[in-house]
Structure 1
Amino acid sequence: MIRRDSLYRRLLTWLLLPLLALGGLMVLQAWVEARRTADRAYDRLLEAATLAIAEQVQWQEQRLWLDLPPAALEMLATDAEERVFYALYDAQGDFVTGNAELPADPRQVGERGDTLLYRDIDWHGLAVRQGIRRARLEDWRQRERFEVRVAHTREGRERLAAELLRGNLAYILTMAALAVGILLLAIRAALAPLTRLRRAIRARDPRTLSPLELSLPRELAELRETLNDLLARMRRVRANQERFIGDASHQLRTPLAGLSARAELALRQDDPARWREALEAMHATSVRTSRLAIQLLSLTRLDNPEYRPELASLDLNALARQAVRTHWHACHRDGIDLGVETAPAPVRIRGLDWQLEEALGNLIDNARRYGARHVTVRTHASPPALEVEDDGPGISPGRRLLMLRPFHRGSEDSDGSGLGLAIVDGIARTHGARLTLEDASGGHGLRVVLRFPGDTP
């Protein structure tokens, strides 16, 4: 089973990932801030305890003496049941009294006033916070230096940090839930126009190619205009197809009806000569009908507005020689002199060989059908051009533009379909060439020239 991707799921994923990362950073910051706040609170108690102990230090019997009040340590004892340690050291670093020998702090301090240092240490397998107050006796007889070292375990700090973190987590989770809810609503609201566009397209009749009229945001309005442009191209294609169907039905109705009438008339005859006459007429009609059908298909393909062929490099000299070879037998059979005059060097353009061959074929066939006795195919190098000149009756200047219209005949000749020059004009437009109808060089006849934009290697 193929799992279809979802724009809603993709937007939700790409918006939730940064939100989750931000939430993780907020939780980490809340944890760091909770520990810092707990340390500040307990460090105040640690400072008060060292100060209370230092105030009780006296000089008696030529040595430091301490009468520790119970309140000095009770202020560090909480319901977390921390363990509290203290010690008094003289100026030489010798232990005087206390309930544990605590390590010294190697950091140096200033010479003026009391100084309190804090640090976290691992002491006898216990993680403790130690505070060291370096002070001196303020007696007029003695100014002995000493250190008060106090340490207590971190149970209370950890509990306070956890309580602070829980309070922050409740706030963070509430804000995260609110943000996710708003995000879901925002995504649905943002995708609502896309849903309306999908429903509008789904509700349309497949035969309807009219533009979409739907109010949409700018980004989706571009998509709507793209769809409308596609619908417009489809309308042009359908119009081209309908025109082809109408032209084909109109142009093929008469020869097909003639074939049917000839066949029916021949079936009523018993004379073989009449049968042969009918078969010859039917053969001529079928040839004309086949040629007409081929020309209709060519014209329809050329008139297709979505037809964008890929052009290739061609030599006009080679095309002209090939066209003469292809049509020489038909012209020779009708007593027509068909020749070719090419430029000295290859004439390169970008085009479609089969289309240009068809254009030359239509021009040669038109000249042959309308009374020409001499037909010449020429190429020119500057600018690149193809030319077909004949000595037939020609076309008056006032009717030359009309001859480029489909089904417009220059004479009452029933063999013609009026599509030859229209097809040549379509091929010229496909190649970006200019089609002109001119008088022949002798003043009698017609010269048709296709001038291409320029040299192309």
Structure 2
Amino acid sequence: MSHLSLYRRLTIWLLFPLVLLVAIMLLQAWFASREAADRAFDRLLDAASLSIAEQVRWQQSRLWMDLPPSALEMLATDAEERVFYALYDAQGRFVTGNRSLPSLPARDGNRMSYGDVISGDMPVRLGVLRARLEGWDRSDRFEVRVAQTREGREALANQLFLASLINIVIIAGLAMVVVLLSARFALEPLTRLRRAIRQRNPRTLAPLELALPRELAELRQALNELLARMRRVRANQERFIGDASHQLRTPLAGLSARAELAMRQSDPDAWREALATMHGTATHTARLAGQLLSLTRLNNPEATPAKQAVDLAALAQRCVRAAFSRHHRQGIDLGVEIPEQAVVVLGNDWQLEEALNNLIDNASLYGASQITVQVTDAPPRLVVRDDGPGIPEPQRLLMLRPFHRGQQTGDGSGLGLAIVDSIARAHDIRLSLQAARPGDPERPGLSIALTFPVNA
């Protein structure tokens, strides 16, 4: 039923019990009509048997009766049933009648017994009356057996059932109309909610203001909470785009101004100085653009691949090896400390490598002369320590925001730790920042630890 609409599902669940109830009512009406027909014709059998029993007499030392025509005429109907009767004495011997008929077990406290039997290959309804012939010199028991074919009973039962069927069908039809209309009216608030959502401007994220029942009011509240989150996301995106454009516009304007100034010079040394400055600015801008792309990619959950097993020791060695030459030329001591065994965690290889590269570059850009990458096994942890000026404790959480820089002396863009924080949250990693050398007030350094979940 997953492909059906909510209206059709509701009508099916409401109509199914109704149809089942109608079927039960029809079955009950069928049996009730048969019972009523049997009860009515059994009364006629009772009356006919009593009329016959009143005519039983002694004649020539034996039972005899003069059957009145009215005794059997009362059993005649338009269905033209066949009627049979018989008189039996106390020993069960046939005395008289138009057909021999079987007997029936006696019922407690009742002179009359009824049953459906087969007589001469015909199904008949049999009534047996047990009576006593009283005289001044003797008292004998006898049985009057009267049988009738079932045509009249069936006709009456069908007539009664047809009347019940018409009533039940009319009531069921009205009930179905009420169910369909009720389902339509019950879902009308949902229709209004759907129309309100469709008629909204795609660019607006204002909350929905619509009077709804309690169940749909909860859905409206959930939609409003989603819209509120989307407003915050859009505000963050707009702020990020504004900051990014400002961060990119400044170095690009500097490049343009520096190039224009160099074009006015004729001294080759001035050109070389301008080219060196432009090269540094272009390198910084390229790194900023790369970090912006990385941050955008991290904020897109659909572009995140499935997590796989990653060896932190091999990852640390690979990143340090790739960055060693560049940092060595800058006079920075870059080293790595890893355990002998592999330290395997679940994660995205390129994201973890991006996080480690940003931590190493951040440390070098903000005045560190010694950087150590350390991998531990219990628990799995990736630590980057440096001997730079560090970050004051009140500013450490602020450093996780994009474009926030704790100091203006470095060449960083303020995106490195924001990227690391995004990657940490995507991997359920605990990110902690603390001083690497608390005893040195001038250069306390910074130790950034990424602690992975133990079950990863």
- Which residue identity is paired with 1:102? S
- Partner of 1:156, secondary structure, is helix
Q: CA distance change for structure 1 residues 34 and 423 in 2, over 3 Å: closer, same or farther?
A: closer
Hey, what does 2:24 align to over in structure 1?
A: 25
Hey, what does 1:173 align to over in structure 2?
A: 169
> 1: distance between equivalents of 2:102 and 2:153?
23
Q: 2:365 aligns with which of 360, 369, 377?
A: 369
Aligned partners of 1:114 and 1:135 also within 8 Å: no
Hey, what does 2:383 align to over in structure 1?
A: 387
Q: 1:109 aligns with which of 106, 110, 113?
A: 106
Q: Which moves more between the two structures, 124-133 or 421-430?
A: 421-430
2:132 counterpart of 1:136: yes
Hey, what does 2:291 align to over in structure 1?
A: 295
Aligned pairs (5 A) from 1:3-18: 5-18=4-17
> 1: distance between equivalents of 2:453 and 2:31?
76
- Partner of 2:156, secondary structure, is helix
Aligned partners of 1:23 and 1:172 also within 8 Å: yes
Deviations 1:52-73 (A, max 9, x none): 1111111122222212222212
Which structure 1 segments of 5+ residues have no match? none
Deviations 1:219-259 (A, max 9, x none): 33333333233323322332232122111111111122233
- Which residue identity is paired with 1:233? R
Q: CA distance change for structure 1 residues 345 and 84 in 2, over 3 Å: closer, same or farther?
A: closer
Shift of 1:334: 2.2
Hey, what does 2:200 align to over in structure 1?
A: 204
Shift of 1:44: 1.1
Q: Which moves more between the two structures, 323-332 or 14-23?
A: 14-23
- Which residue identity is paired with 1:84? V
Deviations 1:348-401 (A, max 9, x none): 555544334333323332333344433322334555543333344555667656
Deviations 1:94-115 (A, max 9, x none): 44333x222222x4438x9983
Aligned pairs (5 A) from 1:225-236: 225-236=221-232
Hey, what does 1:62 align to over in structure 2?
A: 61
- Which residue identity is paired with 1:41? A
2:429 counterpart of 1:435: no
> 1: distance between equivalents of 2:438 and 2:92?
127
Q: CA distance change for structure 1 residues 370 and 45 in 2, over 3 Å: closer, same or farther?
A: closer
Q: Which moves more between the two structures, 171-180 or 268-277?
A: 268-277
Shift of 1:206: 0.8
> 2: distance between equivalents of 1:403 and 1:15?
59
Aligned partners of 1:240 and 1:304 also within 8 Å: no
Aligned pairs (5 A) from 1:180-219: 180-219=176-215
Aligned partners of 1:379 and 1:386 also within 8 Å: yes
> 2: distance between equivalents of 1:169 and 1:114?
35
Hey, what does 1:340 align to over in structure 2?
A: 336
> 2: distance between equivalents of 1:108 and 1:420?
102
- Which residue identity is paired with 2:150? R
Aligned partners of 1:87 and 1:148 also within 8 Å: yes
> 2: distance between equivalents of 1:54 and 1:415?
127
Shift of 1:287: 1.8
Q: CA distance change for structure 1 residues 380 and 158 in 2, over 3 Å: closer, same or farther?
A: closer
Aligned partners of 1:402 and 1:408 also within 8 Å: yes
Hey, what does 1:324 align to over in structure 2?
A: 320
- Partner of 1:146, secondary structure, is strand
Aligned partners of 2:10 and 2:183 also within 8 Å: yes
Q: CA distance change for structure 1 residues 118 and 248 in 2, over 3 Å: closer, same or farther?
A: same
Q: Which moves more between the two structures, 81-90 or 46-55?
A: 81-90
> 2: distance between equivalents of 1:396 and 1:375?
19
Quote the RMSD (CA, aligned, Å): 3.4
TM-score, scaled to structure 2: 0.85
Aligned partners of 1:241 and 1:300 also within 8 Å: no
Q: 2:141 aligns with which of 118, 123, 145?
A: 145
Shift of 1:46: 0.9
Which structure 2 segments of 5+ residues have no match? none
Shift of 1:93: 4.0
- Which residue identity is paired with 2:9? R
- Which residue identity is paired with 1:78? T
Q: CA distance change for structure 1 residues 26 and 422 in 2, over 3 Å: closer, same or farther?
A: closer
Aligned partners of 2:85 and 2:101 also within 8 Å: no
Aligned length: 452
> 2: distance between equivalents of 1:347 and 1:113?
95
- Which residue identity is paired with 1:73? L
Deviations 1:192-211 (A, max 9, x none): 12112111111211112223
Q: 2:151 aligns with which of 144, 152, 155?
A: 155
Deviations 1:433-454 (A, max 9, x none): 2322415378345132215266
- Partner of 2:139, secondary structure, is coil
Q: CA distance change for structure 1 residues 180 and 364 in 2, over 3 Å: closer, same or farther?
A: closer
- Partner of 1:78, secondary structure, is coil
Aligned partners of 2:130 and 2:143 also within 8 Å: yes
> 1: distance between equivalents of 2:301 and 2:240?
13
Q: CA distance change for structure 1 residues 351 and 125 in 2, over 3 Å: closer, same or farther?
A: closer
Q: CA distance change for structure 1 residues 80 and 249 in 2, over 3 Å: closer, same or farther?
A: same
Q: Which moves more between the two structures, 153-162 or 411-420?
A: 411-420
Hey, what does 2:77 align to over in structure 1?
A: 78
2:255 counterpart of 1:255: no
Deviations 1:402-439 (A, max 9, x none): 55554344555474323334434444455432322415
> 1: distance between equivalents of 2:109 and 2:192?
77
Q: CA distance change for structure 1 residues 8 and 410 in 2, over 3 Å: closer, same or farther?
A: closer
Shift of 1:127: 3.1
Q: CA distance change for structure 1 residues 313 and 96 in 2, over 3 Å: closer, same or farther?
A: same
Shift of 1:190: 1.5
